[in-house]
């Protein structure tokens, strides 16, 4: 049977008669092909490769390797023409919440990204780089060092990937602002209220001094890599206009104050010839700013839930939708997915990128159906509106408890649909994982990852940006669980988890990290089973309630049983973490379970 390479090419035909395994390969540069494009032909006459550039040649030879691995290679001739939909296809990995990957883990990511034809890697940073003058900020984080970045830059370059410095510079600066010597930089040193919860200061006051401070942070990382592109973040400045800049915002408007500061951050880099990415969440809400984007600046439109889930939650006027509205979310923009902002930027002639999410965070097991829907929306909207880049994001909210392998499926799908949407829209993700990433001879683990990634839907409580399992383990009073799953839904998911555990035991993974994948997924299943039992215990009390149910209530005996299970789970969580990640940040991540532990302890002594 003819081989279909990964990613699936936009044009593939076959004919009887293949090339010998040792047939010479004739390579020709063809400037008329699209950027990164190639044409590969195999047959009795040998192998010919026409390519536009170095990446086109790399992808052609990678495709040839996959064809040679097929048993029919010498009997079947192939004619393949291919080129990408998006010239820049990037992957962003969060290393600040709180996982800092080991070099071995980074090398594994490079292998997978190269397979999926990503051209760019960004490591999202806040406090996890060893800044020269800020040891107090990073000393407990096992940060990346200048040597790490130079090593990673070289590994990326050898794989056809560009390593791009990424350092937040406006919002999400709480790891700096918590230290007394930086407290004066805060927009609101007293912190702020969001969703009825008091939060520590996270946003820099938009001043010249803070612009210079943030620029110096970016410069330390940027000088260790060879890319002439960088990402300054600048998203979610929650306190802007609610503290020291309140008077300016009242006079000029939040968009003007925001963009004035962001352009100060960009200016030195643009003058030096860099391309500067920045998040478009604030910028895109102010159409009057569109004609002020300087050449070389690229707003990146992010959106992390797919249209189907957004429609279900928002159009149904659910408690979940009302919760996000209280947090300040623009539900109309959310409902539109990427479309409204993509169209706005396109019509204004502003070059932009789309940034969907891998849906690994706040989930424990992933949300693969949402990730697929989100990425398809990004790819479709991006193509329609001329986006030049597709940046898949993998965040680590609530301490990055999800196993790295949970993101493998979204990464191979994201790489494929940003390469060629129509050829890969119906990609068999499980097969790609088994055949190309995990090398599972039993062809079980890919299916396990897909089934685990659909558990959140099976629980029947649709949530934005989260799974009920994660909300059970990491309760957040600002985003409460709107309902408890029905008993029959809990039973179905428990059966799925048990079946997945059995399949993991029977799997035969030959990938270098195969044993790690098996162990971390076994542990993820155990954590999910624990979360189900938390939900069961709460549902039991709610079912017996004579008045308005309390979703946090729990029977004392059940609470004591659950408490006894926590320490063994944490022991394995630490062990699995250290197989992939540096020790710094682990204690902070483990503390994310403290709120649940306190609730169970209180219930046990009630």
Q: List pLDDT tens digits, range 134-169.
A: 999 999 999 999 999 999 999 999 999 999 999 999
Which 8-state DSSP code applies to residue 403? -
Give pLDDT, residue 551.
Answer: 53
Inform me whether the pLDDT recorded for 545 exceeds 70: no
* Own/partner long-range contacts of 523-526 (Cβ < 8 Å, ≥24 apart): 523/403, 523/569, 523/572, 523/573, 523/576, 524/364, 524/365, 524/402, 524/403, 524/406, 524/452, 525/452, 525/497, 525/500, 525/501, 526/569, 526/572
Largest CA distance in the chain: 81
- Per-residue pLDDT tens for 582-595? 999 999 999 999 99
**411 near 113, Cβ under 8 Å?**
yes
Q: Half-sphere exposure of 418 toward its Cβ, with a 13 Å CA cutoff? A: 32
Q: How confident is the model at residue 332 (pLDDT cuts 50, 70, 90)?
A: confident
Q: How far apart are CA 117 and CA 90, in angstroms?
A: 9
Q: Determine the average pLDDT of the residues in 308-320.
A: 92
Give pLDDT, residue 553.
Answer: 85
Q: How far apart are CA 595 and CA 193, in angstroms?
A: 19
What is each CA distance from 598 to 89, 122, 552, 593, in whole angstroms? 43, 36, 11, 9
Q: Determine the average pLDDT of the residues in 310-321.
A: 92
Query: What is the share, in percent, of the chain residues with pLDDT greater than 70?
Result: 98
User: How is domain 88-303+338-427 classified at the architecture level of CATH?
Assistant: Alpha-Beta Barrel (3.20)
Q: How far apart are CA 287 and CA 57, in angstroms?
A: 41
**Cβ contacts of residue 134 below 8 Å, gap of 6+?**
127, 176
Q: What is the CA radius of gyration of the chain?
A: 25
Inform me whether the pLDDT recorded for 342 exceeds 60: yes
Give pLDDT, residue 78.
Answer: 98
Q: Half-sphere exposure of 315 toward its Cβ, with a 13 Å CA cutoff? A: 8
Q: How far apart are CA 513 and CA 507, in angstroms?
A: 13
Name the β-bridge partners of 156: none
Inform me whether the pLDDT recorded for 347 exceeds 90: yes
**327 near 478, Cβ under 8 Å?**
yes
Give pLDDT, residue 284.
Answer: 87
Q: How far apart are CA 109 and CA 118, in angstroms?
A: 11
**168 near 300, Cβ under 8 Å?**
no
Give pLDDT, residue 2.
Answer: 80
Please report, for the chain, the start and end positions of each structural domain, with discontinuous segments joined by +. Answer: 11-82, 88-303+338-427, 447-604
Give pLDDT, residue 546.
Answer: 42
For residue 139, the tally of other CB atoms under 10 A from its CB is 12
Q: Determine the average pLDDT of the residues in 211-231.
A: 98
> Can 11-82 and 88-303+338-427 be said to share one CATH topology?
no
Give pLDDT, residue 575.
Answer: 98
Cis status, amide bond into 605, omega within 30 of 0 = no
Task: Please spell the DSSP secondary structure of 96-112, one letter per residue.
Answer: SSS--B-HHHHHHHHHH
Query: For 31-35, 112-116, 284-288, 436-440, which range has the lowest pLDDT when averaged over its residues?
Result: 284-288
SS in 3 state form for 19-34? Answer: CCCCCCEEEEECCCCC
- Per-residue pLDDT tens for 229-253? 999 999 999 999 999 999 999 999 9
Q: How far apart are CA 500 and CA 179, in angstroms?
A: 45
Give pLDDT, residue 549.
Answer: 42
**Cβ contacts of residue 199 below 8 Å, gap of 6+?**
191, 192, 193, 238
Inform me whether the pLDDT recorded for 548 exceeds 50: no
What is each CA distance from 492 to 111, 239, 330, 466, 489, in whole angstroms? 36, 43, 34, 20, 5
Q: How far apart are CA 16 and CA 25, in angstroms?
A: 19
Give pLDDT, residue 467.
Answer: 98
Inform me whether the pLDDT recorded for 218 exceeds 90: yes
Inform me whether the pLDDT recorded for 552 exceeds 90: no
Q: How confident is the model at residue 578 (pLDDT cuts 50, 70, 90)?
A: very high
Query: For 78-82, 222-226, 524-528, 549-553, which range has the lowest pLDDT when averaged over its residues?
Result: 549-553
Q: How far apart are CA 270 and CA 282, in angstroms?
A: 20
Inform me whether the pLDDT recorded for 127 exceeds 50: yes
Give pLDDT, residue 352.
Answer: 97
Q: How far apart are CA 284 and CA 298, in angstroms?
A: 12
- Per-residue pLDDT tens for 359-371? 999 999 999 999 9
Q: Determine the average pLDDT of the residues in 96-105.
A: 98
Pairing outcome for strands 88-94 and 25-29? unpaired
Give pLDDT, residue 606.
Answer: 84
Token look-up 């002439």 returns: 228
Q: Determine the average pLDDT of the residues in 416-424.
A: 98
Bigger pLDDT: 547 vs 172: 172
**227 near 164, Cβ under 8 Å?**
yes
**Per CATH, which fold does 11-82 belong to?**
Chitobiase; domain 2 (3.30.379)
Give pLDDT, residue 573.
Answer: 98
State the average pLDDT for the chain. Answer: 96
Token look-up 């927009």 returns: 187
Token look-up 């080991």 returns: 102
SS in 3 state form for 115-137? Answer: HCCCCEEEEEECCCECCCCCHHH
Inform me whether the pLDDT recorded for 388 exceeds 50: yes
Inform me whether the pLDDT recorded for 451 exceeds 90: yes
């Amino acid at each position: 049977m003819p081989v279909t390479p990964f990613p699936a090419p936009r044009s593939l035909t076959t004919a009887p008669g293949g090339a010998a395994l040792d047939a010479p390969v004739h390579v020709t540069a063809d400037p008329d092909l699209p950027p990164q494009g190639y044409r590969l032909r195999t047959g009795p006459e040998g192998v010919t490769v026409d390519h536009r550039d170095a990446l086109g040649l790399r992808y052609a030879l990678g495709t040839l390797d996959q064809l040679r691995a097929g048993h029919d290679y010498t009997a079947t001739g192939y004619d393949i023409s291919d080129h990408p939909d998006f010239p820049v296809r990037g992957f962003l990995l969060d290393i600040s919440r709180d996982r800092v990957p080991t070099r071995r883990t980074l090398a594994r990511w490079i292998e997978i990204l190269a397979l999926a034809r990503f051209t760019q890697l960004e490591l999202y940073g806040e406090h996890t780089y060893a800044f020269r003058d800020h040891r107090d900020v990073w000393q407990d984080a096992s940060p990346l060092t200048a040597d790490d970045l130079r090593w990673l830059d070289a590994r990326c370059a050898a794989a056809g990937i560009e390593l791009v410095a990424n350092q937040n510079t406006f919002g999400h600066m709480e790891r700096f602002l918590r230290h007394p010597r930086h407290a004066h930089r805060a927009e609101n040193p007293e912190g702020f209220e969001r969703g009825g919860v008091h939060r520590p200061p996270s946003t820099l006051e938009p001043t010249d001094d803070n612009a210079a401070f943030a620029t110096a942070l970016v410069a330390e990382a940027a000088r260790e890599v060879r890319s002439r592109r960088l990402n300054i973040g600048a998203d979610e400045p929650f306190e802007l206009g609610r503290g020291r800049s309140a008077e300016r915002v009242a006079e000029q408007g939040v968009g003007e104050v925001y963009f004035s500061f962001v352009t100060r951050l960009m200016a030195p880099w643009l003058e030096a010839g860099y391309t500067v990415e920045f998040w478009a969440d604030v910028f895109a809400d102010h159409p009057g700013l569109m004609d002020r984007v300087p050449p070389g600046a690229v707003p990146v439109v992010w959106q992390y839930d797919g249209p189907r889930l957004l429609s279900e939650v928002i159009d149904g006027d659910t408690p979940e939708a009302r919760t996000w509205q209280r947090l300040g979310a623009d539900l109309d923009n959310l409902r539109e997915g990427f479309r409204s902002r993509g169209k706005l930027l396109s019509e204004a002639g502003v070059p932009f990128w789309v940034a969907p999410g891998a849906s690994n965070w706040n989930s424990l097991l992933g949300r693969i159906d949402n990730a697929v829907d989100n990425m398809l929306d990004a790819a479709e909207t991006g193509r329609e509106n001329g986006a030049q880049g597709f940046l898949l994001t993998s965040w680590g909210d609530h301490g990055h408890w999800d196993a790295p392998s949970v993101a493998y499926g979204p990464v191979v799908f994201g790489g494929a649909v940003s390469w060629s949407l129509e050829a890969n829209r119906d990609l068999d993700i499980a097969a790609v994982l088994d055949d190309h990433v995990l090398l599972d001879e039993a062809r079980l683990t890919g299916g396990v990852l897909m089934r685990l990634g659909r558990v959140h839907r099976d629980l029947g409580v649709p949530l934005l940006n989260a799974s009920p399992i994660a909300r059970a383990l990491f309760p957040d009073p600002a985003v409460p669980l709107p309902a408890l799953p029905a008993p029959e839904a809990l039973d179905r998911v428990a059966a799925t988890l048990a079946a997945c555990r059995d399949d993991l035991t029977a799997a035969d993974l030959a990938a270098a990290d195969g044993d790690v994948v098996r162990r971390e997924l076994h542990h993820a299943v155990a954590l999910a089973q624990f979360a189900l039992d938390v939900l069961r215990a709460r549902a039991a009390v709610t079912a017996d309630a004579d008045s308005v149910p309390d979703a946090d209530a729990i029977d004392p005996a059940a609470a004591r049983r659950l408490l006894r299970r926590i320490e063994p789970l944490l022991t394995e969580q630490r062990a699995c973490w250290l197989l992939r990640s540096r020790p710094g940040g682990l204690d902070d991540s483990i503390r994310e379970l403290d709120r649940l532990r306190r609730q169970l302890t209180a219930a046990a002594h009630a």
